[in-house]
């Protein structure tokens, strides 16, 4: 009888149900396991029929699928990797800027294109699933993984996450270049106490719904295929033992995809969070709480099998988990032999010029100009530039986390397995300035100046000599991968090493000074702001970062980045995110006020934009109305430029405390010299609601402020009052 599951004319759902019927309990539990593909490969793939592997690239991908062919049912292995800003562990692939950097572009189309290019390059290497996007909210700069987020605002994160998921998954998962996206880390992972990675997030269910769930709810509405349960606990309940989180909430959103745990979450229930006395109990809890695939918990297979054979676990839950996994494999076309490892010649698209050009475009739109005392772009009389600083020529600092630069990480592919990584396609800031300088007859000298890890001022004197011979200094400061990432939280956000000493000496030369920040997340930039005549922020700008930054400095590109995250003046000043709840009596500390050094939504341009003529279509509306908001934006300069117009709203009186403003819309537009454009937003009144104390979403009657402008700063916003009856 021609089995349904072998027949692609049937739906993936029907095929998965049919295959499930003939599977043994061992085969079902095997599908629920995901292990590092480099360890005990034959045992996991052939003997246990593992469902998924991660952290392998190259030839081994083909080897693994061939091993799967030797199992009874020949179920293809689902292969996942952290391709979170390009396929950055694959040598020669296009490495884009980090999520926090690309969020500065506020450009949904470009981010969708970045994800599509990543999907193409990942799919060509026989990999089917990226553990991306990160939809965590970055609000505590002590946390090591802020750089992986889209910043501090739930709405902006939701919008950019949607673009990324669409890029990865395309119109259909069956398409050759579509891969599974994974919304992570569910939930509240960025809000743990003290910024301590994977500890406890002390957030209420109401606040989860109001803030932290929003990007994930949007991801589910967008059709994300998988969600990763976070390491952290929420109010003392680990995500992977939280059936309210994984079953009630996701069920309430009709999520039909796959919940994968983060690395060894099930083992951590026992060893770290101690909510399970042994691994058998941890495995039972893991299944019953709604985790479908267990990442890197070697004991799970035996323990789950023992539970199943003794009738101590619901077989329905195992069937549901296995069904979800199989359905995705059918949807991807894996049973039809699609998306296998391609030949090296077929992989020619990887890192191709058109992909690299997109990495440049996104990086160039992601640079934020934070200060400009008419020093940028460089004038033609500048003939000698001194590039000074530890991040001027540092590939790893430039690429950021989850790429070639991420070394000594317990979960990241060690390079003994990978072919030698070819980083020759990375253009550092120094190389970008030299490339552009040569074309303009500008000489570029360089000195590293100091380390950004250890205190060592011995090199500073030499750097100052070089700086003294130039017309202008470009300092490139920041941090690097050992100060960012998983298990790399900080108790401060100061510039490490001898960067501050270097900066003071550069200031003492009295030369014009531009500072470029290459960093994983907001750092203490007070001195940079005070000493520099111009400040450019790139976060981790990716392989084309050097060309993008150089083109902005020389004026070939007009900076258009806006901050997706606030810069605190000090680590102790936090929280400074713009939508903090009101109520602080003093509204300042003894030592410092409550204003960030640079606020959310802020960024300068070479153009000069002016806002006027804010209009609302109605002043009294009902809940199911749509409000039309329009504003005129003119460019009074002689340079065309792009402006991100931001729309905020404030529910003035509400039965729970709500922020004094929340982002509800944004549009990035190009305006020609001396041109005026009218920007229009369609704002559903239903989007002005919040979750009340009973966790119900509601829109309350009363007055609302509607605000439009160039940043979240009050002085940048034009306001109108509307009334909802």
Q: Which residues of this protein are in contact with ligand GLC, per CB under 6 A?
A: 54, 82, 131, 184, 262-263, 411, 486
Q: Where are the beta strands (DSSP E) in 438-555?
A: 443-447, 472-478, 513-518, 534-537
DSSP 5: G
Q: Give the nearest distance from C-beta 295 to ligand GLC in angstroms.
A: 7
Instruction: Please say which residue, 131 or 567, places its beta carbon nearer to ligand GLC.
Output: 131
Q: How far is the CB of 264 from ligand GLC (least distance, A)?
A: 9
Reduce the DSSP state of residue 517 to 3 states and report it.
Answer: strand
| Rounded Cα distance, 711 and 140, in Å | 21
Q: How far is the CB of 225 from ligand GLC (least distance, A)?
A: 15
Q: Backbone dihedral region of 340: left (phi > 0), alpha (psi from -120 to 50 degrees) or beta?
A: beta
| Closest distance of CB 52 from ligand GLC, Å | 11
Residue nearest to ligand GLC (CB): 131
Q: Which is nearer to ligand GLC, 138 or 546 (CB)?
A: 138
Give the C-alpha separation, 102 to 496, whole Å. 24
Question: Among residues 36, 262, 479, 489, which one is catalytic?
Answer: 262
Provide the CA 123 distance to its chain's centre, in angstroms: 20
Judged by beta carbon, residue 106 or residue 131, the one nearer ligand GLC is 131
Minimum distance between the CB of residue 77 and ligand GLC, rounded to whole angstroms? 16
Q: Which residue has the tokens 């402006």?
A: 643
Q: Closer to ligand GLC by CB, 85 or 284: give it.
A: 85
d(CA 293, CA 32): 4
Q: Which is nearer to ligand GLC, 143 or 323 (CB)?
A: 143
Q: Minimum distance between the CB of residue 592 and ligand GLC, rounded to whole angstroms?
A: 33
SS3 for 194-259, per residue?
HHCCCCEECCCHHHHHHHHCHHHHHHHHHCCCEEEECCCEECCEEHHHCHHHHHHHHHHCCCCCEE
Which residues make beta-bridge pairs with 669? 643
Between 53 and 276, CB nearer to ligand GLC = 53
State the minimum distance, in angstroms, from the CB of residue 409 to ligand GLC.
Answer: 8
Q: Pseudo-torsion of CA 531, 535, 540, 544, nearest 10°?
A: -130
CA 242 to chain centre: 24
Q: Give the count of alpha carbons within 13 A of 138, CB side only.
A: 30
Closest by Cα among 295, 349, 339 to 128: 339
| Residue with Cβ nearer ligand GLC (296 or 372) | 296
Measured from the CB atom, the residue of 410 and 582 that comes closer to ligand GLC is: 410
Clarify whether 262 is annotated catalytic: yes
Q: Are 643 and 710 in contact (CB under 8 A)?
A: yes
Residue 140 DSSP SS3: coil
As measured in angstroms, the least distance from the Cβ of 89 to ligand GLC is 10
Q: CA 541: distance to chain centroid?
A: 13
- Give the alpha-carbon dihedral of 418, 422, 428, 433, to 10 degrees: -170
Residues with active-site annotation: 262
């Amino acid at each position: 009888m021609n089995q349904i599951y072998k027949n692609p004319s049937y739906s993936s759902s029907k095929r998965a149900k049919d295959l499930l019927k003939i599977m043994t309990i061992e085969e079902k539990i095997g599908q629920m396991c995901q292990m590092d593909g480099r360890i005990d490969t034959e045992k996991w793939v052939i003997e246990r029929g593992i469902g998924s592997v991660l952290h392998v690239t190259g030839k081994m991908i083909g080897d693994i699928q061939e091993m799967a062919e030797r199992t009874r049912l020949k179920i293809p292995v689902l292969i996942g990797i952290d391709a979170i800003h390009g396929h950055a562990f694959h040598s020669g692939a296009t490495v884009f800027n980090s999520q926090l950097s690309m969020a500065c572009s506020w450009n949904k189309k470009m981010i969708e294109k970045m994800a599509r290019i990543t999907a193409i390059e990942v799919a060509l290497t026989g990999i089917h699933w990226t553990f991306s996007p990160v939809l965590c909210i970055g609000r505590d700069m002590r946390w090591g993984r802020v750089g992986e987020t889209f910043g501090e605002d739930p709405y902006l994160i939701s919008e950019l996450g949607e673009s990324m998921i669409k890029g990865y998954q395309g119109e259909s998962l069956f398409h050759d270049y579509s891969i599974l996206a994974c919304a992570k880390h569910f939930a509240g992972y960025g809000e743990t106490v003290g910024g301590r990675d994977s500890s406890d997030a002390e957030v209420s269910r109401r606040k989860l719904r109001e803030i932290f769930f929003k990007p994930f709810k949007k991801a589910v509405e967008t059709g994300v295929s998988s969600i990763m349960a976070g390491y952290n606990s929420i109010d003392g309940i680990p995500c992977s033992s939280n059936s309210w989180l994984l079953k009630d909430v996701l069920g309430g959103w009709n999520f039909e995809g796959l919940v994968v745990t983060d690395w060894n979450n099930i083992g951590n229930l026992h060893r770290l969070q101690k909510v399970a006395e042994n691994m058998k109990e941890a495995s039972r809890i893991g299944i019953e709480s709604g985790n479908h695939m267990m990442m890197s918990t070697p004991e799970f297979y035996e323990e789950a099998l023992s539970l199943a054979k003794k009738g101590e676990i619901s077989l329905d839950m195992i069937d549901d988990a296995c069904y979800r996994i199989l359905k995705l494999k059918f949807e991807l076309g894996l049973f039809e032999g699609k998306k296998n490892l391609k030949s090296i010649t077929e992989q020619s698209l990887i890192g191709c010029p058109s992909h690299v050009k997109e990495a440049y475009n996104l990086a160039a739109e992601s640079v934020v100009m934070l200060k400009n005392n008419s020093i940028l772009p460089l004038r033609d009389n500048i003939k000698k530039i001194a590039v000074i600083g530890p991040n001027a020529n540092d590939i790893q600092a430039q690429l950021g986390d989850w790429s070639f630069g991420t070394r000594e990480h317990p979960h990241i592919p060690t390079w003994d397995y990978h072919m030698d990584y070819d980083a020759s396609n990375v253009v550092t800031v120094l190389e970008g300035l030299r490339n552009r300088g040569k074309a303009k007859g500008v000489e570029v000298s360089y000195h590293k100046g100091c380390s950004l890890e250890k205190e060592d001022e011995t090199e500073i004197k030499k750097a100052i000599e070089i700086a003294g011979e130039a017309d202008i200094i470009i300092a490139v400061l920041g941090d690097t991968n050992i100060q960012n990432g998983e298990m790399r939280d900080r108790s401060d956000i100061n510039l490490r090493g001898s960067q501050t000493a270097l900066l003071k000496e550069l200031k003492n030369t009295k030369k014009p000074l531009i500072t470029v920040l290459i960093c994983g997340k907001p750092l203490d930039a007070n001195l940079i702001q005070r000493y520099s005549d111009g400040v450019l922020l790139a976060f981790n700008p990716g392989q084309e970062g050097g060309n993008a930054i150089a083109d902005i400095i020389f004026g070939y590109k007009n900076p258009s980045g806006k901050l997706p995250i606030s810069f605190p003046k000090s680590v102790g000043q936090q929280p400074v995110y713009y939508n903090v709840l009101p109520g602080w009596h003093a509204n300042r500390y003894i030592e410092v006020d409550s204003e960030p050094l640079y606020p959310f939504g802020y960024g300068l341009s070479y153009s000069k934009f002016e806002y006027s003529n804010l209009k609302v279509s109605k002043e009294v509306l009902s809940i199911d109305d749509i409000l039309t908001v329009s504003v005129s934006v003119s460019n009074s300069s002689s340079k065309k430029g792009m402006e991100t117009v931001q729309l905020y709203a404030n529910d003035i009186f509400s039965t729970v405390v709500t922020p004094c403003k929340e982002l509800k819309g944004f549009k990035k537009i190009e305006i020609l010299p001396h041109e005026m454009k009218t920007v229009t937003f369609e704002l559903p009144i239903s989007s002005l609601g919040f979750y009340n104390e009973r966790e119900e979403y509601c829109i309350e009657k009363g007055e609302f402020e509607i605000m439009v402008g160039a940043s979240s700063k009050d002085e940048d916003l034009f306001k109108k009052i509307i009334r909802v009856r």
